[in-house]
A and B are shown apart, each in its own frame.
Chain A
Amino acid sequence: MSATQLTPPPGVDVPRMDIDPFSDDFLLNPYPYHERIREAGPVVWLDMYGIWAVARHEHVRAGLNDWRNFISSAGVGLANFRTEKPFRPPSLILEADPPQHTRSRTVLARILSPKAMQAVRDEFQKQAEVLIDSLVQKGEIDAIKELGEVYPLRVFPDALGLTEEGRENLLLYGNMVFNAFGPRNHVFMDAVQRYEPVRDWIMEKCQREALRPGGFGDQIYQAADAGDITYEEAPMLVRSFLSAGVDTTVNGIGNAIYCLSRNPDQYDKLVASPTLARGAFEESLRLESSVQTFFRTANVDLEFAGVPMRENDKVVFFLAAANRDPRQWKDPEAFDIERKTLGHTAFGSGIHACVGQMVARLEGELILTELARRVKRIEPNGEPRRRLNNTLRALDSLPVRLIPH
Chain B
Amino acid sequence: MAVSRYVGHGGQQTELAVPGGTGVMQAAANSGQAGIVGECGGSAMCAACHVYVDESFETQQ
Contacts and interface: CB of A to CB of B under 8 A. Distances in A.
Contact of A353 (B26, B43, B47): B43
Nearest to B40: A357
B43 A349 contact: yes
B61 to A, nearest CB: 15
Interface string B14-42: 00000000000010010000000011111
B44 interface: yes
A349 B41 contact: yes
A97 B25 CA distance: 25
Interface stretch (A42-50, A208-216, A243-251, A340-348): A340-348
Nearest to A353: B43
A160 interface: no
Contact of A342 (B38, B45, B47): B38
B47 A114 contact: yes
Interface residues of B, number: 12
A282 B45 CA distance: 15
A358 B45 contact: yes
A350 B43 contact: yes
A114 B50 CA distance: 13
A109 interface: yes
Contacts of B41: 342-345, 347, 349, 353
A342 B23 CA distance: 13
A237 interface: no
A113 interface: yes
B46 interface: yes
B33 to A, nearest CB: 12
A377 interface: no
A378 interface: no
Contacts of A344: 41
A349 B45 CA distance: 11
B35 to A, nearest CB: 14
A355 interface: yes
A71 to B, nearest CB: 18
A357 B45 contact: yes
Contacts of A349: 41-43
B26 to A, nearest CB: 8
Interface string A323-348: 00000000000000000101111011
Contact of B47 (A113, A351, A354): A113
Given A342-B41, A343-B41, A357-B40, A114 B46 contact: yes
Contact of B45 (A340, A343, A355): A355
Contacts of B45: 109, 112-114, 353-355, 357-358
A361 interface: yes
Contacts of A109: 44-45
Interface of B: 26, 29, 38-47
Given A112-B45, A114-B45, A349-B41, 5 more contacts: A114-B47, A342-B29, A342-B39, A342-B41, A345-B41
8 contacts: A109-B44, A342-B26, A343-B41, A347-B40, A348-B43, A353-B45, A355-B45, A357-B46
